[in-house]
Amino acid sequence: MTALLGPAEIRGLAAELDVRPTKKLGQNFVHDPNTVRRIVDLSGVGEGDHVLEVGPGLGSLTLGLLDSGAQVTAVEIDPVLGERLPATVTERAPEAAARFTVHIQDALKLQRADLAREPTHLVANLPYNVAVPVVLHLLAELPSLAHGLVMVQTEVADRMAASPGSRIYGVPSVKLAWYGPARKVAPVPRAVFWPVPNVDSALVGFERAAEPVSDADRDEVFAVVDAAFAQRRKTLRAALSSWAGSGEKAEAILRAAGVDPRARGEQLGVRDFAKIAKSKSLPPF
């Protein structure tokens, strides 16, 4: 079993690299091996799986993932951190070095063609300020990603896993639901990080559904979702009037989709949004 990075190792690596963790890049490093083991267990990854890890940082989670026997491709934006990772893996888990690759780049710009093999799992302690855009970008860009377990700020976890009708249900909830179900898996206390963030975290799990929600165009569906939640207190008739061209058109499109024009976006499930987008693409609209 690989010896994972504890507080002394994290501080030692940070000192060696002269790393001053930045808030801008969400740099809070896990220095608790038990937390890493728990994340790896909950992710269910093992031999034969190919894990994409966004933001490996100093390598805490990376070493745990490699210890499961999985292949790991990491994407780190900070070159100082990314360039040290192969040596950390070789020092602590030499037998796993051949299963590890790191790309030094922005995960928001990662493309399918950048990767030699298609990842099956996304497992990451995500940088907080770009957590939702990163997950949505990767699900869109990498169809092979079938399972995910990510650590995000608790409030973001709640929004990602929210159901229609709840106060926190919104754009991240619907867009994630387009790909499949998401659920909040477990809380993670702030004390497991260095430096200690001023928010708590939680793990969110998601699965890509075997069948797409609808054959509607995804970008069209997402445009309806953005419009509906940009003015979430308004009725859908009012909120979708610019998107449709006028209030009358919005009402007709909603009625054709079987959706009450007086309803609000927070009451609709992803299938309803898909029906609205689809209805606009059909005659007479």
Residue 60 as a binder of ligand SAM (CB under 6 A): the answer is yes
- Piece of the chain touching ligand SAM by CB under 6 A; list 48-56, 64-72, 111-119, 209-217: 48-56
Q: How many CB atoms lie within 10 A of CB 168?
A: 15
Q: Given the complex with ligand SAM, which of 60 and 71 has the nearer CB atom? A: 60
- Piece of the chain touching ligand SAM by CB under 6 A; list 76-84, 235-243, 255-263, 265-273: 76-84
Q: Given the complex with ligand SAM, which of 188 and 270 has the nearer CB atom? A: 188
Name the helix (H) or strand (E) containing 17.
helix 7-17
State the Cα–Cα distance between residues 123 and 128, nearest whole angstrom: 14
Sheet of 71-76, strands arranged across: 100-104, 71-76, 50-54, 121-125, 147-153, 201-207, 182-188
Using the rule CB under 6 A, which residue among 2, 101, 106, 184 binds ligand SAM? 106
Q: Given the complex with ligand SAM, which of 11 and 249 has the nearer CB atom? A: 11
State the Cα–Cα distance between residues 243 and 225, nearest whole angstrom: 10
Does the annotation flag 80 for ligand binding?
Answer: no
* 125-184 positions binding ligand SAM, by CB under 6 A: 125, 127, 130
State the Cα–Cα distance between residues 163 and 113, nearest whole angstrom: 34
Q: Given the complex with ligand SAM, which of 81 and 270 has the nearer CB atom? A: 81
State the Cα–Cα distance between residues 74 and 89, nearest whole angstrom: 12
- Chain residues binding ligand SAM by CB under 6 A are 25-30, 54-57, 60-61, 75-78, 81, 106-108, 125, 127, 130
